[in-house]
Amino acid sequence: MNYSYQPVKPSSQNWGSHIWPPFTQIASSIPPQKVIAGENALLIRDNDEPPIIDAISSWWVTLHGHANTYIANAIANQAKKLEQVIFADFTHPQAEELAKRLSALTGLERLFFSDNGSTAVEVALKIACQFWHNKNEPRKQLIAFEGAYHGDTFGAMAVGERNLFNKPFDEMLFPVQRVPWPATWWDDTSVEAREQKAISQLEKLLEEPTIAVILEPLVQGAGGMAMVREEFLKKVEKVVRQSQALLIADEVMTGFGRCGNLFASHRAKISPDLISLSKGLTSGFLPMGVTMVREEIFESFIGNDPNLTFWHGHSFTANPLGCAAGNASLDLLEGNPLAYEGLESRHLPHLKKLANHPKVTKPRLVGTIAAFNIEVEGAGGYLNSAGKALKQYALQHNVFIRPLGNVVYLLPPLCIDDSQLEKCYSTISNGLEIV
Ligand SMILES: *Cc1c(COP(=O)(O)O)cnc(C)c1O
């Protein structure tokens, strides 16, 4: 196939006259594909073109595959019984079941419902902050990691890396202290020194009374699939425990099997005080977020003084359809743990082979997530065009990837079959020849 990368002609009409898409510069975007159906790992287009392999689970949400009938039926059945009820005065069986199951699985007793990953993070930050207020020990300092991404609402932006994406708001974001993230890859020889440096900086910052330390366990997602060792997280936890600060794990991406265990915290053997979950929670069927909280924190919000109350809620809190999808998704996860436990060893031979390619650097793999950097000339970073060119090439070969700058990754639905996975890797390998 004759291929050359063509920058798209600036146009405000690529998306028609009414839609404003997320995270997209319209002027330089490739016109969108029209999708009319999904089936397991495949997206079906509205013309005779072949289906596209969704190699990134539609922004990391599609866990068991598109249009999974078991989950679809659970939602349909629930919709015929109860679609929604105000959750401040009522409860319902799907919410109770989901809360019970997630408490048992995470080891954190209380569940607070919200609508997406950003709100699950906002809720964690607000609970952590108010916890110290309620104990009459108000604190100011929050600590996050360089390169972090925690969402797009103001609080979530504040704890995230300050960059191009939140520049217009920089002055309006509350201050957050930052520690380097000692990301690692295969055959990395300097990781221990970098980890030590990060731990020392964290120790120093924690001399100041601190509300919480927030991190994405094992993998920073949007920050470039930047993976750290389990040992590092163990050390972070130890230092945080010595200081009394709370530990918040943002498992919005890493939760529900993505890192090979049900939760990345489990794999790293750390016990956070709060865990934010979303994305895979409903297997990508419905928007929902939850924040899991240690009972002792919850207890500090109980009392006759109205000031103790967590005055936070969303219209769709604990939406029964979302809860039904969550419970059905958990059924599937628990019914077949091999689906998430086994994906790492399915990636492994492919990534090993790709790692020999001269343009591939820093190969890395954890659970269902495989990533590498394209060795490119000129500046790296999100706006580097090599990733864009590879994305366009892959799409022409019916594989959907969405590199983060020069970071290429696969994060497929658990149901991806061997030949589809093989096709993702061979397409990337061929595409590297033209970038
Ligand atoms: C995607 C993501 C978020 C934000 O979730 P949304 O549902 O997009 O608001 C927060 N944290 C992490 C780690 C994420 O990957």
Q: Which residues pair with 360 in a beta bridge?
A: 374
- Domain region containing 385: 25-54+342-434
Residue 418 in any domain: the answer is: yes
Amino acid type, 351: L
289 and 368 part of one domain: no
Residue 1 has what pLDDT?
43
Query: Which CATH number belongs to the domain containing residue 399 in this structure?
Result: 3.90.1150.10
180 and 238 part of one domain: yes
Decide if pLDDT at 242 tops 90: yes
The answer to whether the CB of 142 falls within 8 A of the CB of 205 is: no
Residue 15 has what pLDDT?
83
185 and 299 part of one domain: yes
Select from 335, 363, 394 the last residue of a domain: 335
Distance in angstroms (rounded) separating the CA atoms of residues 177 and 338 = 39
Distance, CA 119 to ligand 1 centroid (Å)?
A: 9
Residue 266 has what pLDDT?
97
Band of residue 9 on the pLDDT scale cut at 50, 70, 90:
low
Residue 147 in any domain: the answer is: yes
Select from 284, 306, 335 the last residue of a domain: 335
38 and 74 part of one domain: no
Decide if pLDDT at 7 tops 70: no
Condensed to tens digits (0 to 9), the pLDDT of residues 34-53 reads 999 999 999 999 888 999 99
Query: Which ligand 1 atom is the nearest neighbour of the CA of 118?
Result: 9
Distance, CA 253 to ligand 1 centroid (Å)?
A: 7
> How many domains, in total, are found in the chain?
2
The arithmetic mean of pLDDT across residues 307-318, rounded, is 98
Decide if pLDDT at 232 tops 90: yes
Helix and strand totals (H; E) in the chain: 14, 16
352 and 330 part of one domain: no
288 and 189 part of one domain: yes
Residue 250 has what pLDDT?
99
**Six token digits for residue 341:** 């436990």
Residue 8 in any domain: the answer is: no
Residue 6 has what pLDDT?
57
Pick from 60, 116, 118 the residue to mutate for probing ligand 1's pocket: most ligand atoms within 8 Å of its CB.
118
Residue 5 in any domain: the answer is: no
Report the percent of the chain where pLDDT is more than 90. 90
Select from 335, 355, 375 the last residue of a domain: 335
202 and 128 part of one domain: yes
Residue 5 has what pLDDT?
57
301 and 416 part of one domain: no
Comparing CA positions, the residue from 105, 132, 95, 118 lying closest to residue 296 is 132
**Six token digits for residue 115:** 């609508």
223 and 327 part of one domain: yes
Q: Atom 8, ligand 1: which residue's CA is nearest?
A: 117
Judged by average pLDDT, the poorest of 3-17, 46-60, 149-163 is 3-17
115 and 237 part of one domain: yes
For the chain, give the mean pLDDT. 95
Query: Which CATH number belongs to the domain containing residue 304 in this structure?
Result: 3.40.640.10
Residue 350 in any domain: the answer is: yes
Helices (H), 300-380: 320-335, 338-341, 343-355
Who's near 277: CB < 8 A, 6+ residues apart? 102, 120, 251, 252, 255, 256, 289, 290, 291, 292
Pairing of strands 141-145, 35-39: unpaired
Distance, CA 139 to ligand 1 centroid (Å)?
A: 26
With a 6 A CB cut-off, is 116 part of the ligand 1 pocket? Answer: yes
**Six token digits for residue 308:** 């103790």
The arithmetic mean of pLDDT across residues 314-341, rounded, is 98
Comparing CA positions, the residue from 243, 218, 242, 215 lying closest to residue 228 is 218
210 and 276 part of one domain: yes
The arithmetic mean of pLDDT across residues 361-365, rounded, is 98
Pick from 278, 283, 402 the residue to mutate for probing ligand 1's pocket: most ligand atoms within 8 Å of its CB.
278
Query: Which ligand 1 atom is the nearest neighbour of the CA of 148?
Result: 13
Band of residue 4 on the pLDDT scale cut at 50, 70, 90:
low
Condensed to tens digits (0 to 9), the pLDDT of residues 97-149 reads 999 999 999 999 999 999 999 999 999 999 999 999 999 999 999 999 999 99
With a 6 A CB cut-off, is 258 part of the ligand 1 pocket? Answer: no
Residue 209 in any domain: the answer is: yes
The answer to whether the CB of 428 falls within 8 A of the CB of 57 is: no
**Six token digits for residue 209:** 């009374």
The answer to whether the CB of 151 falls within 8 A of the CB of 252 is: yes
Distance in angstroms (rounded) separating the CA atoms of residues 126 and 81 = 34
Distance in angstroms (rounded) separating the CA atoms of residues 403 and 400 = 10
Residue 15 in any domain: the answer is: no
94 and 164 part of one domain: yes
Residue 62 in any domain: the answer is: no
With a 6 A CB cut-off, is 215 part of the ligand 1 pocket? Answer: no
The arithmetic mean of pLDDT across residues 75-79, rounded, is 98
Decide if pLDDT at 384 tops 90: no
Distance, CA 196 to ligand 1 centroid (Å)?
A: 28
**Burial classification of residue 80, based on how many CB atoms lie within 10 Å of its CB (0-12 exposed, 13-18 middle, 19 or more buried):** exposed
Distance in angstroms (rounded) separating the CA atoms of residues 110 and 291 = 8
Q: Atom 7, ligand 1: which residue's CA is nearest?
A: 117
CA 387, 391, 397, 398 torsion: positive or negative?
positive
Decide if pLDDT at 169 tops 70: yes
Distance, CA 248 to ligand 1 centroid (Å)?
A: 14
